[in-house]
Amino acid sequence: MEEIAIGASGLSTSRIGLGTWAIGGWMWGGSDEARSIATIRAAVERGITLIDTAPVYGFGRSEEIVGKALAEGGLRNKVQIATKVGLAWQNGQVYRDSRAERIRQEIDDSLRRLRTDVIDLYQVHWPDFETPIEETARTLEDLQRQGKIRAIGVSNYAPAQMDAFRAVTRLDAVQPPYNLFEREIEADVLPYATSSGLTVLSYGALCRGLLSGRITPETTFDGDDLRKVDPKFRNARFRQYLAAVEALKRLAQDRFGKSVLTLALRWVLDQGPTVALWGARDPAQLDPMHDVDGWHIDEASKAEIDAILNHCVTDPVSPAFMAPPRRRPNTVRPEKR
């Protein structure tokens, strides 16, 4: 499998990573631990060496499952673990909190759940508008100096925020939403990362399953599945995106002999210093992985893909609906310094 360096950290990883938000169950209609563990182990067996998780995914559940799968399978030394910090929760309500006190608590909780003594890539999950970026950066630099983390990343950060972070300490990676349907980072974050030597971990590479080729107009979503409120999966917009997927299916098959899922992952990898995070939660979902390596999408085909999107998706919508509130709840008070 293709590999990529994680910034200037000295670490390298496969260019396809396993995303484990869905494995945590929260906002994905629940989780099956045995199937999740089997998926993680199948991913490693197939050559994936990056597992991306976060404390907020299932309120600790995803990290616990990842830790159990790797420890009991003897796989820890075969992968890079990427997890996050800076989202807390209270009574099921998620909020941003990147204060030093919170980070020092979270790192130890994550190490325990992941059953490891070091996290390979530690990422600030969302910018905290109530905590100075410099405070957050200094705290992660301290953790790196202590040997608890190896590389530092941010997620959902704008270039100006990354500039402020990098004024304090080295940054190795950025994790934004990026896929064929959600391309806002091409205007700022992607060129910034390319020029600054940052690796881009693209979350939502299959756009919450839309680009898997398995979703139809009759597909329903259960429980707390976030696709029940995702504007892409509702009414006229849903029909537009599904029409685009059908056209992309035909292009993928006729031009490359590939599936639309494979096309979508290859497209992400062809955009720059990128890793495509694949949110599989069943081993069989990983079967097409071998079709992603060893080829590229030519410029003429990229132009045709753009034409399909412009024709089919006349009312596009951003992934901004996933952002947590900008301010902490009134019941949460910062500790006195």
Rounded CA separation 252/246 (Å):
10
What does 142-167 look like in DSSP terms, one character per residue? HHHHTTSEEEEEEES--HHHHHHHHT
pLDDT, one tens digit per residue, over 267-326 is 999 999 999 999 998 999 999 999 999 999 999 999 999 999 999 999 999 999 889 999
DSSP for 249-314 reads HHHIIIIIS--HHHHHHHHHHTTSSEEEEE---SGGGGGGGGGTSS----HHHHHHHHHHHHHH-S
| 334 has pLDDT over 90 | no
pLDDT at site 331: 63
Residue 106, phi-psi category: left (phi > 0), alpha (psi -120 to 50), beta (remainder): alpha
Q: Give the per-residue pLDDT at 252.
A: 98
Q: What are the structural domain ranges in the chain? A: 3-209+264-293
Between CA 187 and CA 164 the distance in angstroms is 19
- DSSP 8-state symbol, 4: E
What separation in angstroms does the CA of 160 have from each of 68, 140, 166, 184? 38, 19, 10, 16
Catalytic residue among 57, 122, 178, 203: 57
Share of the chain above pLDDT 70, in %: 96
How confident is the model at residue 28, as a pLDDT? 56
Q: Indicate the pLDDT class of residue 30, thresholds 50, 70 and 90.
A: low
25 pLDDT more than 70 = no
Cα dihedral 258, 174, 110, 141, rounded to 10, equals: 150
What is the DSSP secondary structure assignment for residue 237, as one 8-state letter? H
pTM given for the model: 0.95
Catalytic-residue membership of 57 = yes
Mapping DSSP to helix (H, G, I), strand (E, B) and coil, where does residue 60 land? coil
Give the pLDDT score at 26.
60
Q: Please report where in the chains the tokens 């939502």 appear, as a residue.
A: 204
Query: CA–CA separation, 266 vs 271, rounded Å?
Result: 9
- List pLDDT tens digits, range 85-105: 999 998 878 999 999 999 999
pLDDT at 336: 38
Task: Quote the distance between the C-alpha of residue 249 and its chain's center.
Answer: 24
Helix (H) or strand (E) holding 122: strand 119-124
The superfamily CATH assigns to domain 3-209+264-293 is NADP-dependent oxidoreductase domain (3.20.20.100)
- Per-residue pLDDT tens digits for 99-141: 999 999 999 999 999 999 999 999 999 999 999 999 999 999 9
Q: What is the pLDDT of residue 276?
A: 98
**Distance, CA of 121 to CA of 109 (rounded, Å):** 15
Question: Can you give the pLDDT at residue 29?
Answer: 65
According to the model, what pLDDT value does residue 1 have? Answer: 87
The pLDDT of residue 225 is 86
The residue to which tokens 């796989």 are assigned = 75
